Amino acid sequence: MPDPNSSAFLPHMGYDLLVFGFSGEKLKILLMEYHKTGWSALPGRFVGNNESLDNAVQRRLRKRTGLNEVYLEQFYTLGSIERFKPEVMMKIMEPHGYEKKDHWLFKRFISIGYYALINYKEVEPKPDKL
């Protein structure tokens, strides 16, 4: 979870990673659990003010899987007004003691979707440390 007080990120924009794991036998999708909520989601993050979108996505994938030089492809931009649900972000942030409702985290987001195909036998998923 990023520091919600940080101005190091571009507000209102993030990305989501659809990571397909394949071993020659089964196809799996990498999901990560939000700390202290029991909810799962695609790994994603925000884009830093001083980095490109592609570099941000590569960095996050490397952090989550330990893999370098993974082929990534943008596949969709998610921007529907129906996705704007600040109460969901509040439920994610509340267990961490954050309650400031006028922060950019609780406003509408545009997410860029990326996909990658990896060999899941080479990966041990790494969650955020809190």
Alpha carbon 24 to chain centroid distance?
Answer: 26
The Cα–Cα gap between 88 and 120 comes to 30
pLDDT recorded at residue 126: 77
pLDDT recorded at residue 88: 84
Give the predicted TM-score (pTM) of the model.
0.83
Tell me the chain's radius of gyration from C-alpha atoms.
15
Alpha carbon 66 to chain centroid distance?
Answer: 16
Token pair of 103, please? 């922060």
One-letter identity of residue 86: P
Where are the chain's structural domains? Answer: 9-80+109-119
pLDDT recorded at residue 20: 94
Q: Which CATH number fits domain 9-80+109-119: 3.30.1330.10, 3.30.450.20, 3.30.1490.100, 3.90.79.10?
A: 3.90.79.10
